Chain A
Amino acid sequence: MISTPSPLWFLDRSAGEVTLLLMSAVMILGIIRSAVPTAFPILIEGTHINLALLTVAFAGLHVLGAVLDPFARLGPVDALVPFVSAYRGTWLGLGVISGYVYAITVVISWPARRFPRATWVWLHRSMYVAWVLALLHSLGTGTDANNELFLLLNVAAVVGVLVAFLGFRVAEGWTQLPPVWAALAVVAIAVTLGIAVWAVDGPLQPGWARTSGTPPDLLRSR
């Protein structure tokens, strides 16, 4: 039985973190594009699309690393079916669902937009769900939730998306429907604070590896 982490295990973790950061950058650019459509439209939309495709590449690397790595004994079924994995099943499952939701937002938009505009906009907004799920997956499954560098990058990603949402999207929407956008701003801040409190109370506490559902033999080998 293999008890030592392999380079693929490290690749899985590093590519996962880069995927979350790229997803956050895609979110920020998408928020700016929808709030200020006249500001550098080609540059912002083009970067939004290109980074979204780069995210797919790194997500693929993340999944490939996880499936090929022998340490956590994850297989294709774990990567495709949510909540069936023996290794931190709940938190891994959130990552699988996030991947599917993200795939939907990409497929309906690239290489060309599908569906009428109103339908497309609502489907595209599911990216917010994909991003929150990816963040929960990163903190919950992440072996590196306590690693200072990973934590710093995660905080930067969350702050960046929140500031872009409040500073561009809410500020722009406020001029038309203040109550709706005030409510959305409150929801965004509440979700962020909720995740922060949960992270401090859960993934950042010692013993999270056991609580999150790591198989006992892997706990001994780490």
Chain B
Amino acid sequence: MPGPNVEPPIPAENEPAGAGAPGSAPTPEIKPWQTRVASERRRKRRRAADQRQTLGQLTVAAAVAAVGLNAALFLQTGIAQLGPAGVDQAILSVVNALVPGTGLRPPAQGPSPSPGRPVVTTGGS
């Protein structure tokens, strides 16, 4: 004997109440309250699925934001303490430690002076 918590059958969507396959035993008549309950249950299921999808997107966005913020704060602390050149040097030392043999070097500070004689320019307007 079914208990009080047994759920009523859910009518399929777009199927008129009481419709069955030809030749099969007649299906019991579905009452209006059962249709309402079924529709409410479908709506709840849809809402739950929507929330789960949003949850996945929100989690990925939060993880990306956290990693991005961490990188920004990393650079901020480095620049505040060492200056931009020091941060370049620190990042390169990490890269060189992780991937030896890259030969990466910080950029030179400015153009080197010409080794030849200075060019004398005359005239001009």
Contact = CB atoms under 8 A, between A and B. Distances in A.
Contacts of B72: 14
A58 interface: yes
A14 B59 CA distance: 20
Interface stretch (B34-42, B61-69, B115-123): B61-69
A10 B55 contact: no
Contacts of B80: 144, 147
Interface in A42-74: 42-43, 46-47, 50-51, 54, 58, 61
A147 B62 contact: no
Chain A contact residues, majority secondary structure: helix
B43 interface: no
Contact of B66 (A5, A11, A43, A58): A58
Contacts of A50: 55, 59, 62
The prevalent SS among residues of B at the interface is helix
A108 B81 CA distance: 40
B104 interface: no
A5 B89 CA distance: 12
19 contacts: A4-B82, A7-B93, A10-B74, A10-B90, A14-B72, A14-B73, A17-B73, A18-B66, A21-B66, A21-B69, A25-B62, A43-B55, A46-B55, A46-B59, A47-B55, A50-B62, A58-B66, A143-B77, A147-B76
Interface of A: 4-7, 10-11, 13-15, 17-18, 21-22, 25, 40-43, 46-47, 50-51, 54, 58, 61, 143-144, 147, 149-150, 222
Interface of B: 48, 51-52, 54-55, 58-59, 62-63, 66, 69-74, 76-78, 80-82, 90-91, 93-94
